[in-house]
Amino acid sequence: MSAQFSLIDELQEAIEGSSEAKRVETLRQVTDLFLSANKKLSEKQVAVFDNVLVHLVENVANSGLAELSERLQEINNAPINTIRRLANDDSITVAGPVLTRSTRLTSTDLIDIVRRKSEAHRYAISERVELDEKLTSALIEYGEARVLHRLSSNAGARFSEEGFAALLRKTEGHDEILEALGLRTDLPHAILRDVLSRANETLRERLIADAPAVLRESIEEILLLLSATVENSERRQKTARQTVQEVNRAGFLNESTVLNYAGQQQKDELAAALEMMTGSKFDFIQRALASEMRESTLIVCKAAGLGWPVAHAVLKLNPARLSASDLAALEHSYSKLTVAAAQRTLRFWQVKNSLAS
């Protein structure tokens, strides 16, 4: 016991001023003392150690802090303020171990770090054994491709249906994320259908090969339905094109006709008309009009030389509602957009799209 009291007596000196080596050694000794007795300590006693450690770590270099983080990462009653201090360190070498493994960090603690710290911090959090829905939603909002891929493949991560949908929206251009998402056994049926709709033939084959039996049955069933849907869509597209071509030959493919297609929710005829008027592909037009980025609808309509009433009617076909202020802002943008600028933008998008495919 005398050695322990001697150590406590030396703490103030270590905190107030001493060599780096002495501070690290003192930190190590206090940690040793805590770990030797932590299973017997009450929360009040742990708090005493916490108070000491919080002061010590402010005067220790990263190497010493990283060592402390490694030693405390899996201790269920580790000093909470010390853990929070380590988790918030700018150095991922220091923060990483406790971000990934410490049970002392709450979901609220972790969400705050997700919002404020680096992508490396977010990746460390995405590797935790368990992640609740609020935390995964924050990681989806702030994380980039590496974090989203790890999150998608983390079996211990839980997602709300909105979280799954948000993650799916971020998979464009990242087949590895789409694949990891498609192999999750907790994926809602509607989201799995959207995953398979986005997947190319190679990715679909990989999903069938790698999926567990219960999921493979669902994948094969959805793919059969998608195949039938594609065939039906192709038939509707062919019919719509024929209709619009006849209208054009009769000299009636004009703004009034396009406005009528939009007002009657004749989406295939609308896409066929805009295809002919802009020189873009039918599928490209459909994706642009359905995009959450409403400006894409404005670009297509302006490139076709159409006025705001038509653009407004086309915007209303998108299921996501617009507020009055958003609509006013879009109308203002449309009034400033020139036909030439819209056509240049449309050509660029199509070239970019062809290079990505």
CA 311 to chain CA centroid, nearest Å = 30
Q: Are 126 and 154 in contact, with CB atoms under 8 Å apart?
A: yes
Q: Please give the DSSP secondary-structure letter assigned to residue 211.
A: S
Q: With cut-offs at 50, 70 and 90, classify the pLDDT of residue 210.
A: very high
**C-alpha radius of gyration, the chain, whole number:** 29
Partner residues linked to 157 by β-bridges: 131
**Token digits of residue 100:** 């990934």
Give pTM, 2 decimals: 0.68
What angle is formed at CA 210 by the lines to CA 209 and CA 212, rounded to 5 degrees? 105
Secondary element (H or E) of residue 138? helix 133-142
pLDDT tens digit sequence for 41-59: 999 999 999 999 998 998 8
User: Domain residue spans in the chain?
Assistant: 2-173, 174-250, 253-356
State the distance between the two ends of the chain, measured CA to CA, in whole angstroms: 71
Share of the chain above pLDDT 70, in %: 92
**What are the φ/ψ torsions at residue 131 (nearest 5 degrees)?**
-135, 125
pLDDT, one tens digit per residue, over 85-134 is 999 999 999 999 999 999 999 999 999 999 999 999 999 999 999 999 99
Beta strand spans in 140-181 (E) = none
